[in-house]
Amino acid sequence: MARMKFLCDADRCIECNACVTACKNENEVPWGLNRRRVVTINDGQPGERSVSMACMHCTDAPCASVCPVTCIFSDADGIVLHSKDLCIGCGYCFYACPFGAPQYPRVGNFGSRGKMDKCTYCAGGGGPEAPGSSEEFKKYGSNRIAQGKLPLCAEMCSTKSLLAGDGEIIAQIYKERVIKRGYGSGAWGWTTAYHEGIAV
């Protein structure tokens, strides 16, 4: 069984935001919500780096752990999914998420945020809706995994900075890159998300 992960090679990211656009388009993410974003650190200074970030589909996902109604779960591929039928919009996953992934339709005074939305790794909802059905699409977006495809953000990354796929395979690709070019700023977020970085 694969263990799906994301890896952003910050030495390749050119902050084109195509992953952000691809995600919004593929999943028809409503206005105001962003399942993926590109953050540029030390912008305009020597050594600035951009990192594309979404839900990292953590090992021992803290969001799933703190959810008061246990609506967040990991599927067989390690993809962290949630049920919008059970979500009560309390915002706890947002406090717990190390990557700012959970999104809500509204700012939410008096707890009126609405149902949480986040990156599904283009794997739909994993719930009672039939994979690829319009009901599933409306709630969770595209289910490319059911079609044997990887998330669109990574698939269409122009510099192949953003990698998606089995953790061991993408870690191997990243290692080879680092060895060949002689440098690498590491797999951003991996230590926090998966309890291990990539040693080269």
Partner 1 sequence: MSRLFARIRFVVGALALASLITFAAPLHAQQKTPFIDPDASAVTEQKLLQQYPRIEGRILIPDQRESVLMQPAGRQWDYFHEVLLHWLGAIVIVGMVGLLAAAYFFLGPIRISAGRSGCKVARFSGFERFVHWLTATSFVVLGISGLNITFGKLLLRPLIGPDAFSAFSQIAKYAHNFTAFPFMLGILLIMGMWFKDNIPRKVDVEWLKQGGGFIKSKHAHPPAGRFNAGEKGVYWIVLGAGALVSLSGLLLLFPFYVANIPQMQFAQVVHAVVAVLFVAVILAHIYIGTLGMEGAFEAMATGEVDFNWAKEHHNLWLEEQLAKSRSTDHPQHPSAMPAE
Residue 87 touches partner 1, criterion: CB under 8 A: yes
Instruction: Report the b/e string of 16-50 with b at 16+ CB within 10 A.
Output: eebbbebbbebbebeeeebbbbbeeeeeeeeeebb
Please give the Cα distance from 130 to 38 (Å, whole number). Answer: 32
**CA separation for the pair 164, 6 (Å, rounded):** 5
CB 54 within 8 A of CB 23: yes
CB of 68 to partner 1, least distance (A): 5
* Residue 144 Cβ vs partner 1, minimum distance, rounded to whole Å: 23
Structure tokens at 128: 């009672």
For partner 1, which stretch binds (CB under 8 A), given 88-96, 124-132, 136-144, 150-158? 88-96
Q: Among 25, 133, 172, 191, which residue sits at the site for partner 1 (rule: CB under 8 A)?
A: 191
Task: Check binding of 182 to partner 1 (CB under 8 A).
Answer: yes
Chain residues that interact with partner 1, rule: CB under 8 A: 10-11, 15, 17, 20, 32, 34, 37-43, 46-51, 53, 62, 65-71, 85-92, 94-100, 107-111, 182-186, 188-189, 191-192
